[in-house]
Amino acid sequence: MNWIIKENDFNKERIIANSNKYMIGNGYMGYRGTLEEFDKTQLTATTLAGVYDRFQDKWREPVNAPNGLATNIYCDGVELSTLSATVIHHTQQLDYFHGVHERSTTFQFAEDHTVTLITRRFCSASRLHLLVNKIELRSNKAAEFVIRTGIDGDVWDINGPHLEQLNASVTENILQLDALTHELKHTISVAEAINVTFCEQKSVPHEYGVYREIKLNTEANESYSFHKYVAVFTSLDGVHNCSVAAYAESKEALVTGYEALLEEHKQVWREKWNVSDVKINGDKEAQEALRYSMYQLHIIAPGHSERLSIPARGLSGQVYKGAVFWDTEMFMLPFFLYTQPKIARNLMMYRVHTLDGARKKAAEYGYEGAFFAWESQETGDDACTLFNVNDVFTGRPMRTYFRDKQVHISADVAHGIWQYYTFTGDHSILTDGGAEVIWECARFFYSYAYYNSRKKRYEILDVTGPDEYHERVGNNAFTNNMVKRTVNIALEAMETLKINDYPQYEKLIAGSETTLAQLYHMNNNLYVPSPYEESLLIEQFDRYFTLEDVTLPELKSRILNKNEYLGGGNGLATTTQILKQADVILMLHLFKDQYDHATKQANWTHYEPRTEHGSSLSSCIYAMVATDVGSPNWAYPYFLRTATIDLTGESKQYVGDLYIGGTHPAANGGAWMATVLGFAGVHFNGQRVQIKPSLPEQWNSIRFPLLLKGQLFQVTVDSKAVVITPQGDHSHPIAFEINEQLHNVEAGQELRVELS
Amino acid sequence: MNWIIKENDFNKERIIANSNKYMIGNGYMGYRGTLEEFDKTQLTATTLAGVYDRFQDKWREPVNAPNGLATNIYCDGVELSTLSATVIHHTQQLDYFHGVHERSTTFQFAEDHTVTLITRRFCSASRLHLLVNKIELRSNKAAEFVIRTGIDGDVWDINGPHLEQLNASVTENILQLDALTHELKHTISVAEAINVTFCEQKSVPHEYGVYREIKLNTEANESYSFHKYVAVFTSLDGVHNCSVAAYAESKEALVTGYEALLEEHKQVWREKWNVSDVKINGDKEAQEALRYSMYQLHIIAPGHSERLSIPARGLSGQVYKGAVFWDTEMFMLPFFLYTQPKIARNLMMYRVHTLDGARKKAAEYGYEGAFFAWESQETGDDACTLFNVNDVFTGRPMRTYFRDKQVHISADVAHGIWQYYTFTGDHSILTDGGAEVIWECARFFYSYAYYNSRKKRYEILDVTGPDEYHERVGNNAFTNNMVKRTVNIALEAMETLKINDYPQYEKLIAGSETTLAQLYHMNNNLYVPSPYEESLLIEQFDRYFTLEDVTLPELKSRILNKNEYLGGGNGLATTTQILKQADVILMLHLFKDQYDHATKQANWTHYEPRTEHGSSLSSCIYAMVATDVGSPNWAYPYFLRTATIDLTGESKQYVGDLYIGGTHPAANGGAWMATVLGFAGVHFNGQRVQIKPSLPEQWNSIRFPLLLKGQLFQVTVDSKAVVITPQGDHSHPIAFEINEQLHNVEAGQELRVELS
pLDDT in tens, A137-164: 999 999 999 999 999 999 999 999 999 9
Of B393, B450, B513, the CB nearest to A394: B393
pLDDT of A657 reads 66
| Euclidean distance between CA atoms A8 and A16, whole angstroms | 16
Cβ atoms of B434 and B504 within 8 Å: the answer is: no
DSSP A329: I
Non-local CB neighbours of A700 within 8 Å, separated by 6+ positions: A281, A282, A718, A719
DSSP H or E segment with residue B311: none
Query: Which residue numbers of B have CB closer than 8 Å to A's CBs?
Result: 365-366, 368, 386-387, 391, 393-394, 396, 398-399, 446-447, 449-454, 458-459, 461-462, 472, 474, 513-514, 518, 542-543, 558, 560, 568-572, 574-575
Nearest CA-CA distance, residue A125 and chain B, Å: 47
Q: Which residues pair with A181 in a beta bridge?
A: A163
| Euclidean distance between CA atoms A333 and A416, whole angstroms | 7
Q: Tell how many helices (H) and how many strands (E) occur in chain A.
A: 22, 33
For A391, the closest chain B residue by CA position comes to: B570
Cβ atoms of A330 and A617 within 8 Å: the answer is: yes
Quick check: bond before A161 cis, omega within 30? yes
Residue A213's closest CA among A392, A325, A70, A105?
A: A70
pLDDT at A245 over 90: yes
Burial category of B579 from C-beta neighbours within 10 Å (exposed 0-12, middle 13-18, buried 19 and up): buried
DSSP H or E segment with residue A226: strand A223-234
Contact at CB, A393 and B396, closer than 8 angstroms: no
pLDDT of B749 reads 87
Contacts of A363 in chain B (CB under 8 A): none
| Euclidean distance between CA atoms B49 and B378, whole angstroms | 10
Of B394, B450, B572, the CB nearest to A450: B450
pLDDT at B731 over 90: no
Nearest CA-CA distance, residue A40 and chain B, Å: 35
Rg of chain B, C-alpha, whole Å:
27
Length of chain B in residues, anyone? 756
Contact at CB, B451 and A454, closer than 8 angstroms: no
Calculate the alpha carbon distances from A479 to A325, A483, A493, A528 in Å.
Answer: 16, 6, 20, 9
Contacts of B386 in chain A (CB under 8 A): 575
Cβ atoms of B437 and B352 within 8 Å: the answer is: yes
pLDDT at A518 over 70: yes
Nearest CA-CA distance, residue B504 and chain A, Å: 24
Q: Tell me the percentage of chain B whose pLDDT exceeds 70.
A: 99
- Mean pLDDT (whole number) for A316-328: 96
- Interface residue of A570, A572, A575 to substitute, partner B, most B CBs within 10 Å: A570
pLDDT of A731 reads 65
Contact at CB, A574 and B449, closer than 8 angstroms: no
Q: What is the pLDDT of residues B248-277, one digit of tens each?
A: 999 999 999 999 999 999 999 999 999 999
Non-local CB neighbours of B186 within 8 Å, separated by 6+ positions: B51, B53, B63, B180, B234, B235, B236
A713 residue type, one letter:
F
pLDDT at B388 over 90: no
User: 3-class DSSP state for residue A699?
Assistant: coil
pLDDT of A594 reads 96
Q: How much is the ipTM here?
A: 0.90
Nearest 5°: the CA angle B111, B117, B120 is 165
Of A447, A450, A560, the CB nearest to B394: A560
For B574, the closest chain A residue by CA position comes to: A399
User: 3-class DSSP state for residue A485?
Assistant: helix
Other C-beta atoms lying within 10 Å of the C-beta of residue B498: 15
DSSP H or E segment with residue A20: helix A15-21
For B559, the closest chain A residue by CA position comes to: A394
* Relative orientation angle of helices A258-276 and A242-256, to the nearest 10 degrees: 100
Exposure string over A144-158, b if 16+ CB within 10 A, otherwise e? ebebbbbbbbbbbbb
Contacts of A539 in chain B (CB under 8 A): none
- Mean pLDDT (whole number) for B180-198: 94
Question: Rounded to a whole number, what is the distance in angstroms from the first to the last CA of chain B?
Answer: 32
| Euclidean distance between CA atoms A703 and A676, whole angstroms | 9
pLDDT at A659 over 80: no
How sure is the predictor about B9, in pLDDT bands with cuts at 50, 70 and 90?
very high
Of B393, B514, B543, the CB nearest to A393: B393
| Euclidean distance between CA atoms A566 and B14, whole angstroms | 43
| Euclidean distance between CA atoms A111 and A114, whole angstroms | 8
Residue A695's closest CA among A290, A276, A283, A332?
A: A283
Other C-beta atoms lying within 10 Å of the C-beta of residue B441: 33
Contacts of A445 in chain B (CB under 8 A): none
| Euclidean distance between CA atoms A598 and B603, whole angstroms | 58
For B570, the closest chain A residue by CA position comes to: A569
pLDDT of A656 reads 64
Contact at CB, A399 and B574, closer than 8 angstroms: yes
User: 3-class DSSP state for residue B533?
Assistant: coil
pLDDT of B730 reads 62
pLDDT of A202 reads 80
How sure is the predictor about B727, in pLDDT bands with cuts at 50, 70 and 90?
confident
User: Mapped to the 3 state alphabet, what secondary structure does B709-743 carry?
Assistant: CCEEEEEEEECCEEEEEEECCCCCCCEEEECCEEE
- Interface residue of A394, A399, A560 to substitute, partner B, most B CBs within 10 Å: A394
User: 3-class DSSP state for residue B279?
Assistant: strand
Q: How many CB pairs under 8 A join A and B?
A: 84
Q: Could you give the residue numbers annotated as active site of A?
A: 468
Q: What is the pLDDT of residues A170-188, one digit of tens each?
A: 999 999 999 999 999 999 9
Contact at CB, A446 and B454, closer than 8 angstroms: yes
| Euclidean distance between CA atoms A385 and A374, whole angstroms | 10
Q: Worst-scoring range by mean pLDDT, A488-492, B48-52, B172-176?
A: B172-176
Q: What is the pLDDT of residues B130-150, one digit of tens each?
A: 999 999 999 999 999 999 999
Calculate the alpha carbon distances from B253 to A657, B43, B100, B240, B269 in Å.
Answer: 70, 27, 17, 20, 19
| Euclidean distance between CA atoms A549 and A611, whole angstroms | 12
pLDDT of B198 reads 65
Q: Which backbone phi and psi does A315 adopt, to 5 degrees?
A: -115, 35
Contact at CB, A462 and B459, closer than 8 angstroms: no
User: 3-class DSSP state for residue A67?
Assistant: strand
For B518, the closest chain A residue by CA position comes to: A453
For B366, the closest chain A residue by CA position comes to: A543
pLDDT of B196 reads 87
Residue B662's closest CA among B296, B177, B237?
A: B296
Q: Catalytic residue, from B306, B440, B468, B539: name it.
A: B468
Of A386, A398, A452, the CB nearest to B450: A452
DSSP string of B674-711? IIIIIIS-EEE-SSEEEE-----TT--EEEEEEEETTE
Cβ atoms of B47 and B29 within 8 Å: the answer is: yes
pLDDT at A733 over 90: no
For A575, the closest chain B residue by CA position comes to: B399
Cβ atoms of A428 and A500 within 8 Å: the answer is: no
Calculate the alpha carbon distances from B740 to B593, B685, B692, B743 in Å.
Answer: 13, 15, 9, 10
Mean pLDDT of all residues in chain B? 95
- Mean pLDDT (whole number) for B525-553: 97
pLDDT at B171 over 70: yes
How sure is the predictor about A207, in pLDDT bands with cuts at 50, 70 and 90?
confident
Calculate the alpha carbon distances from A711 to A340, A708, A725 in Å.
Answer: 11, 5, 11
Contact at CB, A462 and B447, closer than 8 angstroms: no
How sure is the predictor about B734, in pLDDT bands with cuts at 50, 70 and 90?
confident
pLDDT of B1 reads 63
Contact at CB, B446 and A452, closer than 8 angstroms: no
Contacts of B452 in chain A (CB under 8 A): 450-451
Non-local CB neighbours of A617 within 8 Å, separated by 6+ positions: A327, A330, A331, A466, A581, A582, A666, A667, A670
Q: Worst-scoring range by mean pLDDT, A9-23, A517-531, B399-413, B645-659?
A: B645-659
Of B393, B518, B569, the CB nearest to A568: B569
Sign for the pseudo-dihedral over CA of A8, A12, A14, A20:
positive
* Relative orientation angle of helices A477-500 and A408-424, to the nearest 10 degrees: 50
Nearest CA-CA distance, residue B435 and chain A, Å: 22
Contacts of A452 in chain B (CB under 8 A): 450-451
pLDDT at A653 over 90: no
Contacts of A472 in chain B (CB under 8 A): 472
- Mean pLDDT (whole number) for A619-628: 96
Contacts of B459 in chain A (CB under 8 A): 450
Q: Tell how many helices (H) and how many strands (E) occur in chain B.
A: 22, 33
Contacts of A569 in chain B (CB under 8 A): 568-571, 574
pLDDT of A439 reads 98
pLDDT at B62 over 70: yes
- Mean pLDDT (whole number) for B610-615: 91
